[in-house]
Structure 1
Amino acid sequence: MPYCNTNGIKLFYQESGQGEPVLFLHGLGSCGEDWQDQIDAFSHDYRVITVDTRGHGRSDKPLGPYNMPTYASDVINLLDHLGIKRCHLVGFSMGGMIAFQIAADAPERLNSLTIVNSAPAVPYNTLSEKLEFCLRIAVIRLFGMKLLARIIGKRLFPEARQKSLYQRFITRMQGNPTTTYIEVIKSLIGWDVRPTLGNLEMPVLIISADNDYTPVSYKTEYANKISTANLVVINNSRHATPIDQPQQLNKEVFQFLESLA
């Protein structure tokens, strides 16, 4: 199996296709396999790389603590391991946060940046923000990953036609070790790279589902701080756009990458 040694752990990754490298970063509780619709679509024209970030999938799951700069460093070390100087980077949810951190720490490594249903910060200031984190952690500790998976799954895939997607999500989420998952959540609390947005010079595509957790207006607000950014809205989609609307997402990302060729 393909592994990369980085910062004291082993990262599992996979490659498909040839051409310009495109690296996909998954969300919290997910893994590289959840990009399968994108792997199938983009590997005809690009060198597609997926990775299980630390604490996920087949990568090592150290006890912690975790933090966003280390996640970014892991990915940069993977690029070095693969001999890739620059790539197109696509990040979904937590993967988008890692992508923002990489853009802040090593912008010279990116040909472009695509952010899907994500943000450049996870505020932890107001009472409601603190309660949201405390509630999720409490649910995990009291009831385990199974109940959390069902709660989130119903929000992501509420329609009858999405039953198979819901079941797949449940299976994936339940496979996450409780302790590791909590440590990953903690790594997000208070993280913020918004002050760096005005410095970004690579082409940026921001994709928002019309029914994501955070409204389109929120993405518009931070997109306006990036001079090279373009915002696209995917209709009839919730947070898991790469899975619930893969064709629409693939179309937008493919057009974006082709416009840069």
Structure 2
Amino acid sequence: MPHAMINGCSLFYTDQGDGEVVLLIHGLGSSTRDWEYQLPSLLPQYRVICLDMRGHGQSDKPKGGYSIKGFADDCIAFIEQLNLEKPHIVGISMGGMIAFQLATQRPELPASLTIVNSAPEVIPRKPAEYLMVAKRLFFAHVLPLSVTARGLAKLLFPKPEHASIRETFESRWNENDRSAYLASLRAIIGWGVSDRLDRINCPVLVISGDQDYTPVESKREYVSRLGDARLEVIEDSRHGTPIDQADNFNALLLDFLRQSGSAAPTQNAMNQPL
């Protein structure tokens, strides 16, 4: 399976299909494998690349500090090394943060952004937010990964019909490197590009589960500060929307990619007389 040497780190990726490029960026503690529900829908029309960020999956797990900017720098170098022209970038949770960082840093690179259950900052501002962050960091550092995995699996996929998804999630989560996971978690806290959203000049689709950690209203607020952007809310979904509502998610994503692709008419073209 292919690896790319990026910024001194060997990153694992999968590269399948033909057509416009769709780059899928996973979330914290996840990997390329968790896009398995999207591949059957995307591959008939697109070249789909899934990347394991450093510290995750089959990529190297170097010691030292991690940062969202560092993850974005890896993605930028990866895009340039593989000569990927104007990829559509899809990121969930931490992957959405990486996508925001990339698009504000290098706005000319992406053809579009799809941000899933994510935000352009994780900066506590109120006492309750500081308390929530402190609790999450404390328990992440104290509890074994197996306990965290079990709790998250029940929180994200609570229904009886989610039993097999819970089992897969828990098994994969337990494969995480603890040090790399904690370093990646610390990278999220305090990060933000909210003050640079005006640099993003590509179409943006924000998808939110109606029961995601981050309230829908907070997503509606930042979408209002983006240019060509819209918010879609998927009902009966938590943080793992591409998994627990795969069909609805895939339909929204495919529709957006068709509208944002190179074959899509531009606004100027649409306004020309026949």
User: 1:139 Cα deviation (Å)?
Assistant: 2.2
Q: Following the alignment from structure 1 to structure 2, what is the Cα–Cα distance between the partners of residues 133 and 173?
A: 21
Q: Following the alignment from structure 1 to structure 2, what is the Cα–Cα distance between the partners of residues 44 and 164?
A: 27
- Asked whether 1:219 is paired with 2:219, we answer yes
Partner residue, 1:197:
197
Q: Following the alignment from structure 2 to structure 1, what is the Cα–Cα distance between the partners of residues 204 and 155?
A: 28
Q: Following the alignment from structure 2 to structure 1, what is the Cα–Cα distance between the partners of residues 124 and 221?
A: 19
- Asked whether 1:233 is paired with 2:233, we answer yes
Deviates more, 1:190-199 or 1:43-52: 190-199
- Asked whether 1:36 is paired with 2:36, we answer yes
Structure 2: runs of 5 or more not aligned? 265-274
SS in 1 for 2:18: coil
Q: Is the 8 A contact 1:86 1:110 kept in 2?
A: yes
TM-score by length of 1: 0.97
Partner residue, 1:161:
161
User: 1:11 Cα deviation (Å)?
Assistant: 0.5
Aligned length: 261
Q: Following the alignment from structure 1 to structure 2, what is the Cα–Cα distance between the partners of residues 11 and 104?
A: 23
Q: Following the alignment from structure 1 to structure 2, what is the Cα–Cα distance between the partners of residues 157 and 64?
A: 33
Q: Following the alignment from structure 1 to structure 2, what is the Cα–Cα distance between the partners of residues 125 and 225?
A: 19
Q: Is the 8 A contact 2:91 2:99 kept in 1?
A: yes
Partner residue, 2:130:
130
Q: Following the alignment from structure 1 to structure 2, what is the Cα–Cα distance between the partners of residues 136 and 215?
A: 18
Q: Is the 8 A contact 1:140 1:178 kept in 2?
A: no
Amino acid at match of 1:46: Y
Partner residue, 2:151:
151
Q: Is the 8 A contact 2:107 2:199 kept in 1?
A: no
Q: Which runs of 4+ in 1 moved over 4 A?
A: none
Q: Following the alignment from structure 1 to structure 2, what is the Cα–Cα distance between the partners of residues 114 and 140?
A: 28
User: 1:141 Cα deviation (Å)?
Assistant: 3.0
- Asked whether 1:178 is paired with 2:167, we answer no
Q: Is the 8 A contact 2:103 2:199 kept in 1?
A: no
Q: Is the 8 A contact 1:117 1:207 kept in 2?
A: yes
Q: Following the alignment from structure 1 to structure 2, what is the Cα–Cα distance between the partners of residues 192 and 100?
A: 9
Partner residue, 2:74:
74
Amino acid at match of 1:49: I
RMSD (Å), alpha carbons: 1.1
Partner residue, 1:244:
244
TM-score by length of 2: 0.92
SS in 1 for 2:119: coil
User: 1:21 Cα deviation (Å)?
Assistant: 0.2
Structure 1: runs of 5 or more not aligned? none
Deviates more, 1:132-141 or 1:56-65: 132-141
Deviates more, 1:132-141 or 1:91-100: 132-141
Matches for 1:76-91 after TM superposition, within 5 Å: 76-91=76-91
Amino acid at match of 1:119: A
Q: Is the 8 A contact 1:200 1:228 kept in 2?
A: no
Matches for 1:17-36 after TM superposition, within 5 Å: 17-36=17-36
Q: Is the 8 A contact 1:141 1:178 kept in 2?
A: no
Instruction: Choose between structure 1 and 2: higher helix proportion.
Output: 1
Amino acid at match of 2:255: Q
SS in 2 for 1:108: coil
